[in-house]
Structure 1
Amino acid sequence: MPIREFAGSPMPEGDSPIDPDIRQSWYRSTLAGLNPGSQIVIDRLVEMNLGSRLMRAATPILEGLENQLHDSNFGLLLADNEGYILHRTFGTRQLAAASDRLGVVVGAQFTEQTSGTNAISTPIETRRGVFVLGEQHFLECLRDQICFGLPIFQLGTRRLEGVINIMGPGRESPSLMKPVLTSAVREIQQRLLNTYSDAQVALLLAFRAACESHRRMPVVAVEPSETFTNGAAATELQSSDLAVLKEFAAQRGVVFGDRVRMDLSVGQRTVLVERVSDQGAVFRVLRDEQSTLAVPRASVRYRTVGDQLTEMLIRARAASGHVLISGEPGSGRTTAAHSVTGDDFVQVIDAGEAVVSGAKKWAASLQSLAEQSRASLVVESVHLLDAPLLRVLSDAMEQTSTRVVLTSDTGIDSLAAAATHCRSVIELPTLRQRRPELASIMGAMLSDRGVKNVRFTPPALAALSAHDWPGNYKELQGVLDEVLAARSAGDVTLSDIPERYRTPGRRRNLGLLEQAEFDTIRKVLVQVMGNKVQAAGLLGISRSTLYSRMKALGLQ
């Protein structure tokens, strides 16, 4: 059946080449009272929140796509989960003008009831990616366009956050659209997840665990700025119930893990409560027949990269034997070394002094310190030692009863001999690997300075989280110095942070796979001191491929 004939009947008879999602969308559009000759109905334009979580996560990705769309025959739309257009961009002025005439503008709402089948409203209904090709649009005014729309989900809960849609004239190939949008959605979803604080991620993981074990039970997770609900909760509970649960979660002195009777809109129910953070909790709303249901009381806690590092340092401190701590400059090698040695009496010698005082004098100092039977000896920056001094260091480590803790840059092959004498080898994470923890890291730094009344606003945090942080924690300390010099209390806004950290660049748009690729290439380049021929050989790729990937990843 030609698609033009489909509008006349709610459901086509017999076999049809029409995609099932398109078929059902036309049926819904017909039930809504639309006909193919209708125009798009825009009752009013709503002022959109351009600082929303979705917009903050999507903005850097959209900026990259705008560059790709420039002078092309394509347009790009971003809508929220209710179909309101948040952002639009077009390759040409002609496309923008045509969209203005149709009412495809920021603040307009696109639903199947108002605009029929299209690549904004239909993905919201189906929760799947949808191609709408020319005549597959229900409204005739849209049939000179082909569109592809993909839903954007919250990664932990599969909650629909919005839709991104790329559109172009019917003569363009739709196959060109899918990989572009798929990559963009992947990036946006990851950035959405990265905007959550440690406490919110812990809440999210606890919520997922509760949903997996109790699929048919209403499950709600709340904390001051976030609420997660499963399908049963969304169907059975009202907003007033969620407010009751949020207020309960904020109470102090309440015993969590037990059953609590609560008056909800569905009646008095027994609710299982699981504390996740100071003001965050997961609630399982039981039906009467489930009142004896056994639920594990152990809280689910998100193990951050920082948690894993702390565990490694604690194990290294408790174990006997020498320790090698490696990391990029500014990653906290000295702090980690003193964390391993604890409160023991510590002697420190810096390998950099060998350049100043001479190899013989430095070797003699090392030997003397190693023979003093102190609790610990920290040897800083051992990657600066030449081969003869590394042999002296290895011999001293083999012969001494003193515990030796080495610090070094990453990826130094010449340290292999010294590393063989170490029982524990720890590679410190970079600050860019701990982006989700940035708020808590800065909080700890402020606390160490005795600063209590400074709070970074979400836009400022988002901008800082997008930075690459090549100088790691030392660089972050410098940013805090600049901020505190101008503001010692109150909210730190985007305008309060140094200007060079406010605007995201190409390097900040990397997804998980690209980030891993970036880190690997960078690590190898450091290892070979920037020699790209050697780096290409170690990576098993050609030099031209290495240059191409470095350029694509923004690695200079």
Structure 2
Amino acid sequence: MTEKDTPLDPDIRQSWHRSTLAGLNPGSGIVIDQLAEMNLQSRLMRAATPILEGLENQLHDSNFGLLLADNEGYILHRTFGTTRLAAASDRLGVVIGAQFTEQTSGTNAISTPIETRRGVFVLGEEHFLECLRDQICFGLPIFQLGTRRLEGVINIMGPGRESPALMKPVLTSAVREIQQRLLNTYSDAQVALLLAFRAACEGHRRMPVVAVEPSETFTNGAAATELGNNDLALLKEFAAQRTTVFGDRVQMDLSMGQRTVLIERVSDQGAVFRVLRDEEGTPAVPRATVRYRTVGDDLAEKLLRARNASGHVLISGEPGSGRTAAAFSVTADDSVQVIDASDAVVDGSKKWAASLQSLAEQSLTSFVVESVHLLDARLLRVLLDAMEQTSARVVLTTDTGMDSIAPIATHCRSIIELPALRQRRPELASIVASLLADRGVKNVRFTSPALAALLAHDWPRNYKELQSVLDEVLAARSVGDVTLSDIPERYRTRGRRRNLGLLEQAEFDTIRKVLAQVRGNKVQAAELLGISRSTLYSRMKALGLP
């Protein structure tokens, strides 16, 4: 092959060189010794399936095909816009279970992204094998967020006359969603393990680092190269020994010889191991457990800062999101004086204003004004005057997105927006346990199907709705774990709406928030969103919004 024949792109040129060294020749076909039996319930497939289904709808009747392969190049999934494209791929051997590596199929948008760990366009003549040169392809690697471990490759391909520029944004969005879904499949303990693994790897690239727990193992490059499967099994067994004192140095017989291993406990059965070389000193091992930072952690930190700070506080949130509990948390006083704006409707404006003035004049450390979004303009002015005159700290609660109280907000030093329950889905198990503990119920375990049913719900009434469901469960349950049959029937159906991608979920939350802000008025919502009413109705239907 002459210099004139080789591609200009350096990634493609190096791939051609590797293909030649592997003994391939451009005139040969794709080498498939046998088809492997694929695990279609793997973590990658479970994370990618909803995204692939959405892409299939976009590809229908098009000239494009879509492939998903694992990190070894085995094809897990394929879909084509037409039966003609599918038949042509069958003839080439592009079928589920076939392995695409540069040693078996040369330069293409599955094998080459695996080698380069980058997105790769392969345009027609850039394919090493001539049988693939009527196609343009674009492949993107899929990584595990945090560890950058290669999980697989997604590839889109079409005939040479199609524009490759159309492919990149489609796949980039899909990969972003798949990577996030992969991360969401981890439990809190597994995410904590991942974060501890990342911290251990920083600054120690040459040191083998392994993080293990019963269902997951993370290794850095040095560990993957120098440790064998028997070593990993030994470390996993060691991590399960809860009586072992962690944080110290332990001598272990590994395949690379006897080595000093530093151990950091992360969870009951999860730990991070750093394998020292003979010439290396002992790096510091953090004694504190590394823990995944949740939405609830951020909220607790904001409430604590507001509690320790001076000045008035505004707490906003959807109905049922815990506004009153948050207000009490900020005041740190269960006997704090509370006045509710809804009383102005019952008692009249003058009586409510007099009660507010009385509170403001008392020698109080703080007091709470609930539901200030219900006040009319005149009473908001009265409230603002009271806040300016009182020596007490005023803690206000309000619904979300209420522009009418903007003047009040400017007089508050701390403004906290409470997350809705649907925004804390990864924490649902711990939230359920906390609510049960508040009722004096301990050691009650929800089975996976029972929790999955609760996770599938949107919780429009937030924590109050969940508390109501738990009350029903406790009343109906006899003994043992809480199973799916113990969940109220209306909550048992999984997937009350279809799984949404990251962009769709953001759209769903935005439309819901605006609708709540305008009390369900779709005309006003469309105006605020800058779209037509028909578009709003269409998007609401597509996203499963009532």
TM-score, with normalisation over the residues of structure 1? 0.83
Summarize deviations over 1:495-525 as a string: whole Å, max 9, x none: 979365426537x2124xx766665665556
8 Å contact kept, 2:122–2:138: yes
**Do structure 1's residue 338 and structure 2's residue 328 form an aligned pair?**
yes
8 Å contact kept, 1:197–1:437: no
Instruction: Mark the CA change 1:469 to 1:180 in structure 2 (over 3 Å): closer, same or farther.
Output: farther
Deviates more, 1:521-530 or 1:70-79: 521-530
In structure 1, which of residues 481, 494, 502 is the aligned counterpart of residue 495 of structure 2? Answer: 502
8 Å contact kept, 1:128–1:151: yes
Query: In 2, Cα distance between the equivalents of 1:42 and 1:445?
Result: 56
In structure 1, which of residues 413, 427, 452 is the aligned counterpart of residue 443 of structure 2? Answer: 452
In structure 1, which of residues 212, 221, 224 is the aligned counterpart of residue 214 of structure 2? Answer: 224
Deviates more, 1:206-215 or 1:460-469: 460-469
For 1:112, give the aligned amino acid: E
Superposition map of 1:106-505 within 5 A:
106-294=96-284, 300-368=290-358, 377-400=367-390, 403-448=393-438, 450=441, 452-457=443-448, 470-477=460-467, 489-490=480-481, 498=491, 501-502=494-495, 505=498
For 1:131, give the aligned amino acid: F
Instruction: Mark the CA change 1:327 to 1:503 in structure 2 (over 3 Å): closer, same or farther.
Output: closer
Deviates more, 1:56-65 or 1:375-384: 375-384
Instruction: Mark the CA change 1:504 to 1:545 in structure 2 (over 3 Å): closer, same or farther.
Output: closer
Deviation at 1:168, TM superposition (A): 2.0
Q: Secondary structure at the match of 2:306?
A: helix
Aligned to 1:3: none
Deviates more, 1:143-152 or 1:350-359: 350-359
Query: In 1, Cα distance between the equivalents of 2:511 and 2:538?
Result: 8
Deviation at 1:213, TM superposition (A): 1.4
8 Å contact kept, 2:140–2:172: yes
Query: In 2, Cα distance between the equivalents of 1:382 and 1:428?
Result: 16
Aligned to 2:43: 53
Deviation at 1:184, TM superposition (A): 0.8
Note the aligned Cα RMSD (angstroms): 3.7
TM-score, with normalisation over the residues of structure 2? 0.85
8 Å contact kept, 1:42–1:103: no
8 Å contact kept, 1:195–1:436: no
Query: In 1, Cα distance between the equivalents of 2:40 and 2:107?
Result: 26
Query: In 1, Cα distance between the equivalents of 2:71 and 2:355?
Result: 67
- Aligned pairs, how many? 539
Q: Secondary structure at the match of 2:272?
A: strand
8 Å contact kept, 2:484–2:492: no
Query: In 2, Cα distance between the equivalents of 1:76 and 1:401?
Result: 66
Deviation at 1:469, TM superposition (A): 5.0
Instruction: Mark the CA change 1:446 to 1:34 in structure 2 (over 3 Å): closer, same or farther.
Output: farther
Instruction: Mark the CA change 1:468 to 1:150 in structure 2 (over 3 Å): closer, same or farther.
Output: farther
For 1:97, give the aligned amino acid: A
Which runs of 5 or more structure 2 residues have no equivalent in the other structure? Answer: none
**Do structure 1's residue 43 and structure 2's residue 34 form an aligned pair?**
yes
Deviation at 1:271, TM superposition (A): 1.5
Instruction: Mark the CA change 1:276 to 1:246 in structure 2 (over 3 Å): closer, same or farther.
Output: same
Summarize deviations over 1:164-186 as a string: whole Å, max 9, x none: 11122233222221221111111
Query: In 2, Cα distance between the equivalents of 1:117 and 1:66?
Result: 25
8 Å contact kept, 1:194–1:435: no
8 Å contact kept, 2:30–2:93: no
Deviates more, 1:17-26 or 1:485-494: 485-494
Deviation at 1:286, TM superposition (A): 0.6
Instruction: Mark the CA change 1:111 to 1:31 in structure 2 (over 3 Å): closer, same or farther.
Output: same
Instruction: Mark the CA change 1:325 to 1:244 in structure 2 (over 3 Å): closer, same or farther.
Output: same
Query: In 2, Cα distance between the equivalents of 1:78 and 1:209?
Result: 31
Deviates more, 1:157-166 or 1:21-30: 21-30
